[in-house]
Amino acid sequence: MILNELAQGLTPMAEGVAWFEGLPEDEQRKVLHMLVLFCGQARAREADVPESIARSGIRPTHTPAVMLTKWRFGMNRLPTYELTKSFRPLMALFSIADTRRRETHCAGGCGHAWHNLSAQPREGEGA
């Protein structure tokens, strides 16, 4: 749920990064794997990569950015110190692709619960 909230701008990226960094390493790697799958489902394009790197705040020379530029997604296999650097551009790539998908394929409304998050109460809020 938080990945979709981040992609839609409903949760600030700083909050998402703090959430990610608070996870145990094995969970961080699972999140990265899920993000790769979500990017595929949202139909991310190689042409989206430069913008995702720019949005991520990491340098284009960082390993995760270089990997994305080469359309390689094995970031969950990188050393621990690269995981947050991997999360940022993957999250940005997912956001770009998901936004495009919501604006095109789901423009007239859709039944995807994850595309209608702003209409749903957040956990702990009254229904």
Per-residue pLDDT tens digits for 90-108: 999 999 999 998 788 665 6
Q: How far apart are CA 102 and CA 121, in angstroms?
A: 20
Nearest to 86 by CA among 98, 96, 76: 76
Q: Is residue 127 part of a domain?
A: no
Is 38 a member of any domain? yes
**Which domain covers residue 42, as residue numbers?**
2-119
**Residues near 5 by beta carbon (within 8 Å), at least 6 away in sequence:** 11, 16, 117
Residue 124 lies in a domain: no
- Report in angstroms the alpha-carbon separations of 27 from 15, 51, 102, 116: 17, 27, 28, 26
Q: How many CA atoms lie within 13 A of 109 on its CB side?
A: 1
In a domain, 126, yes or no: no
CB contact at 8 A, 44 and 66: no
User: Which secondary-structure segment (H or E) carries 42?
Assistant: none
Average pLDDT over residues 29-41: 95
Q: Which DSSP letter does residue 90 get?
A: H
Answer whether residue 115 shows pLDDT above 60: no
Question: Chain-wide mean pLDDT for the chain?
Answer: 86
125 lies in some domain? no
Mean pLDDT in residue range 67-92: 94
Predicted local distance difference test score (pLDDT) of residue 1: 83
Q: Is residue 75 part of a domain?
A: yes
- Residue 9 phi, psi dihedral angles, 5° rounding: 75, 15
Q: State how many domains the chain has.
A: 1
